[in-house]
Structures are given as structure tokens and as C-alpha cells.
Structure 1
Amino acid sequence: MQLITWNTQWCRGLDGVVSAQRIVDGARAMADFDVLCLQEIAQGFDNMPGAPGDQPAELAALLPGFQVFFGAAVDEFDAQGKRQRFGNLIATRLPVARLQHHPLPWPSDPSVFSMPRMCTVVTVRDPVLGPVRIMTTHLEYYSQTQRLAQVHALRELNAEACAQAAAPPKAETEPSPFQPKLHTPHAIVCGDFNLTVSRPEALVSAPEYQAIHRAHAHGRLQDAWPLAHGDTPHAPTFRLFDRTYGPDPVTADFVFVSDSLAPRVQRVEVDLQSRASDHQPVLIAL
């Protein structure tokens, strides 16, 4: 399996041009991917810079042979009654067994700007790995309080899924919503975690990073980068070219894998040349 995760900034490049085509082309240049996880995908926000339009529909048209699943963290209507949605998208050419959308915690923090966040989960059937839960998300940037709450929620979602895989519920024999579900301990959790620590050596001590790695009775997640690169510092994924949000490049985008998939990680790469977004895409191959 090859998976790419990318915060697209609603497909807006550093030249200000919004282009879903450029995002797809950039991802395809990295790898012949099986799964594409995109964050900051817009629909109906026509007044945003670049007038993004209906990006889920655009991306579906650009990815023939893929199923496309859009999970809106923001889902609201403007004063004229027009629906506006903003969130995560997973596209895959692998067979899909389940789709889930999980709102993440949004505790009050009046000191900063913030917006709702969520995790989109698609369980696929990989011909080699078997069933794999693909979980993609985009955590809060401005509020560490909210970000930590969201990290804990991600850990609990993974732990709950692993517990269900270990002890599935009693299955209904008749066709109904109670019919058996596909559960798996194999998980890839990816996206923009906004762990914007400018010093690479300080990353592993960030509270959010420690929290997502903390051992759990039902499943643990591991950062895929050191599995592929050992002690080599993470490659930067944000502020590499555009310093609007800070003076130094940082690592904000990650791929975490379950213990069960850790031995399968072959490579993890970051495209350090792309300017199709203010973030760099990340590839993992298992």
C-alpha cells in the first residue's frame, strides 16, 4: 500500500492559484498511490482566496477509479442560505468496507481563533495487508488545549477500534444495521497535527506527541518516520517556503501506524520541492 497525506490549503498554491489538478498531479508525481488523504478541502466557500468551488466534486472527477469520501468538520450555511463545508477527504482505489466520520473535541478557548475538527475513517481491504483503518485529520492550530483534547480523542478512537477487533460484538444473522462489521487492529493515522515545534530535537517532548504515543491497553500508535529513518530528524512539512505563520520550517504533518503495521513500513518521504500548498505532502509505503 502507498498512501499520501497532504494539507492542501484548499488546493491553493504559494502563487495564490487554486488548482485541484495541481494537487493530484503533485501526488501522482510522488507515487502511484492507493490512498490519498487530503486536509483543508472546501465546498461552497466561494469568497475564500482563490474561490475554491466544489472541490470534492473536482477531485472525484480527477481520480477515475477511486472512491472519494469527504468529511466536513465545518458544515454550515451563510446568511443567504448557501451551504459551506470544509474538512478532510480520503480517496482510494482499494475496496472499501466501512466509512465513519468522528467529530473531535472542541473545548472552549476564547483566547484564540478556532473551528470544529474531525477525523474521517475509511476501512479498506488491501490485498497484502488485509483490512486497514485509514484515519485522517487536521487538528487545531491556535489552541494547544483543543489540540491536546483532539489527540486524546484520536487515541481513544483507535483503542476502541482495536478492542472491537479483539472482541467483536455479537452479530445479527439477518441483513440489518446489526449485521457483522469489519474490525481491524491495523491502522494508519495521518494528517496535519499542527505540532509546530521549530527545533527537531524538541518534537518528541511536545505534549501532543507524547500523548499520541502513550501506551494504551487496546492498541498503540507509532510515528512512522523513525521507523523508516531512525534518528534522522523529521523533514519539515510546513513553513518551508511561506513564512506567514512563523520564521522557521517545522514538522506539522505526520503518519502514525499501529504496532501491527510498524514492521511493514518500507519508506516515508516528504516532497521538499512542491509549492502547490503551504504544506508539503508526505508518502508512506507499506
Structure 2
Amino acid sequence: MRVVSWNIHWGCGKDGRIRIHAIIDVLRKLNPDVICLQEVASNHPELEGSASANQFKQLAGAFGAYHSVQAPASEIYRNNLPRLFGNALLSKFRITQVHRHLLPWPPDPSSPPGMPRGMIEAVIDAPGGKVRVLTTHLEYYSLAQRIAQVRQIRYLHWEACERARTFEPDPTLDAPYQLGFRPGSAIYCGDFNLNPGSPEYAELLAPEGVGLPLVDAWSATHPGQSHMPTAGLHGFAWPDKPDCYDYFFVTEDLAPRVNAVEVQSETIASDHQPIVLDIS
């Protein structure tokens, strides 16, 4: 199974113009089974390049054979029309459950204004068995908010692992109560806005009290190598130097099945680079 994660910067490339077709072209060449996207926009003409189109619909239409899930954490209304910004997930494989998690956003007067953050969780019937695939985009400006979001992800992961451990099907229950099996095994990906070695990175990977501990898939497949930069390439104004913000984390039971994790550093279609996970 191939999973691609990409902060697409609402399709705004190096030239400041929005070209969703360029994003779509890169994704098609990568030929993923699951696509996890951050910074997807709809009806936001004030963003650089004017993101006025509904990119959630454009992407779903371009990948019509995929099951599409959208989760805009930011939903603002102007003239009764929604202005959306957030995450999207598309899967070739059957999705049996979806959970949309809104992450904590505690007030932080010391930080510039941020925005609501969320995480998509999809239970996917992958060739190797059921797996949860989760994609998120954590706070950039506020360390306090980002740590709160990391802690919520750890709690949600523990909750899922515990539910998987105690799961017993009951066919007598009505459909809303009969969700089916939701495994502990999981792939987390996205723009985490943290650096390797930071306190919040260490906290996310701390093995205590989470059920199945998480492993950085890059470190597992590139032992002893620094993370390849996922932003700060090609002369974009942000950030001021190349660095790693985007990751795949997998539960320790899946780590031996990870065949490769790579950063596709060639494209200038976004200020982030797509990252690719291949897992058997």
C-alpha cells in the first residue's frame, strides 16, 4: 500500500498562482492508494492566488475512483456561503469508518492568532488487513497549542487501542452502535509543524500509556540519517531555511512492514513537499 501525505498550500505554487491541476498531476504520477492532504481550501479568495474554488470537490472529482473524506477544521460563513479550510483523505480501498476529530485550541495570548485544527481518521480495508489512517495539521505559531494537540492525539490513540483490545461484536445492536472493528494499528501523517528532537516530537513518540507505541517511519527506514527537509526548498518565502515538518508515524506492529519513506523534493506546486510511505 502506498500512502502520500502533502500540505498542498491550497494549490499555490512558487509563482503565487493556484494550479490545483499541478497538485493532481503530481499525485497521479505518485500513484498512491491513499491520499492525505492538508491546507485544502474552498471559497477563500483572500488567500494568495485567490482560492475561491471548492478544492475539496475538485480533488474528489479528479480521483473519482477513490472514496473521498473532507474535514475542514475551519468553517466560516460569508453571505451564507461556507468558507472551508482543512484536511482531505482519499482512498482506493474500502473505508469502513470515519472519525473527524477537532483538536484542542487553548487560548494563548502570547501567540499570533492561529486557526482550529483537526484530524481525519479512516478505517481502511488495506491488503494487509484493517488499518487506521489518520491525517492532521498541527498549530504552527503556538507551542502551547501544539503540545495540547499532541497530547490529544496520544489520548485518541490510547482510546482506539483500548477499544480494539476489548472489541466484541454484538449483532443485536442497532446500526449506529455497531461500528465494527477499529484496529489499534495505525498510520499517522501530515504537517505536524514540529522538528525532530523537539519536546513535542519526543512526547508524541513516548511509549508509556498509549497502547501500541508510535514509531517515526523515516527513522525506521533511514537509521542514523537526518530527516530530509519537507519545506524551505525552491526559494519559497517560508520558512527561512530547509527543515522537516511533515512525517509518517506508524504503530510499532506496522514498523517492520514499512518498505520505504521518501520525500519528493522536485515539485514547486506547494511550499511543502509530498512525502510517500510504502508499506506491505
TM-score, length of structure 1 as denominator length: 0.93
Q: Secondary structure at the match of 1:177?
A: helix
Distance 1:149 1:242, change over 3 A: farther
TM-superposed CA distance for 1:227, in Å, is: 1.0
C-alpha RMSD over aligned residues:
1.4
Q: Deviations over 1:196-236 (max 9, x none)?
A: x4xxxxx22x1111011001331211100011111111100
CA–CA distance in structure 1, aligned partners of residues 184 and 126 of structure 2: 14
Query: Residue in 2 aligned with 1:265?
Result: 258
Q: Secondary structure at the match of 2:175?
A: coil
Please tell me the residue identity of whatever aligns with 1:27.
L
Query: Residue in 2 aligned with 1:11?
Result: 11
Query: Residue in 2 aligned with 1:168?
Result: 167
Alignment of 1:267-286 (within 5 A): 267-286=260-279
TM-superposed CA distance for 1:56, in Å, is: 0.7
Q: Do the aligned partners of 2:124 and 2:130 also contact (CA within 8 Å) in 1? A: yes
Query: Residue in 2 aligned with 1:130?
Result: 129
Query: Residue in 2 aligned with 1:211?
Result: 203
Alignment of 1:1-286 (within 5 A): 1-29=1-29, 31-52=30-51, 53-78=53-78, 80-111=79-110, 112-127=112-127, 129-168=128-167, 171-195=170-194, 197=195, 203-204=196-197, 206-217=198-209, 218-286=211-279
Please tell me the residue identity of whatever aligns with 1:223.
D
Q: Do the aligned partners of 2:264 and 2:274 also contact (CA within 8 Å) in 1? A: yes
Q: Secondary structure at the match of 1:44?
A: strand
Q: Deviations over 1:57-111 (max 9, x none)?
A: 1001111210111101101212x23211110000111011001100000010122
Q: Do the aligned partners of 1:11 and 1:276 also contact (CA within 8 Å) in 2? A: yes
Q: Do the aligned partners of 1:171 and 1:180 also contact (CA within 8 Å) in 2? A: no
In structure 1, the gaps of 5 or more residues are 198-202
TM-superposed CA distance for 1:182, in Å, is: 1.9
TM-superposed CA distance for 1:157, in Å, is: 1.0
CA–CA distance in structure 2, aligned partners of residues 248 and 179 of structure 1: 49
CA–CA distance in structure 2, aligned partners of residues 265 and 235 of structure 1: 17
Q: Do the aligned partners of 2:76 and 2:84 also contact (CA within 8 Å) in 1? A: yes
CA–CA distance in structure 2, aligned partners of residues 249 and 45 of structure 1: 28
Q: Deviations over 1:150-176 (max 9, x none)?
A: 011111111111111111266351442
CA–CA distance in structure 1, aligned partners of residues 175 and 240 of structure 2: 55
CA–CA distance in structure 1, aligned partners of residues 31 and 236 of structure 2: 31
In structure 2, the gaps of 5 or more residues are none
More moved, 14-23 vs 146-155: 14-23
CA–CA distance in structure 1, aligned partners of residues 50 and 205 of structure 2: 38
Q: Secondary structure at the match of 1:140?
A: coil
CA–CA distance in structure 1, aligned partners of residues 19 and 122 of structure 2: 25
Distance 1:33 1:170, change over 3 A: closer
Q: Secondary structure at the match of 2:241?
A: coil
CA–CA distance in structure 1, aligned partners of residues 95 and 235 of structure 2: 37
Q: Equivalent pairs: percent with the same residue?
A: 36
Q: Secondary structure at the match of 1:83?
A: strand
Distance 1:180 1:141, change over 3 A: closer
Please tell me the residue identity of whatever aligns with 1:216.
E
CA–CA distance in structure 2, aligned partners of residues 171 and 76 of structure 1: 40
Q: Deviations over 1:117-149 (max 9, x none)?
A: 00011110012x200101000000000110011
TM-score, length of structure 2 as denominator length: 0.95
CA–CA distance in structure 1, aligned partners of residues 236 and 66 of structure 2: 34
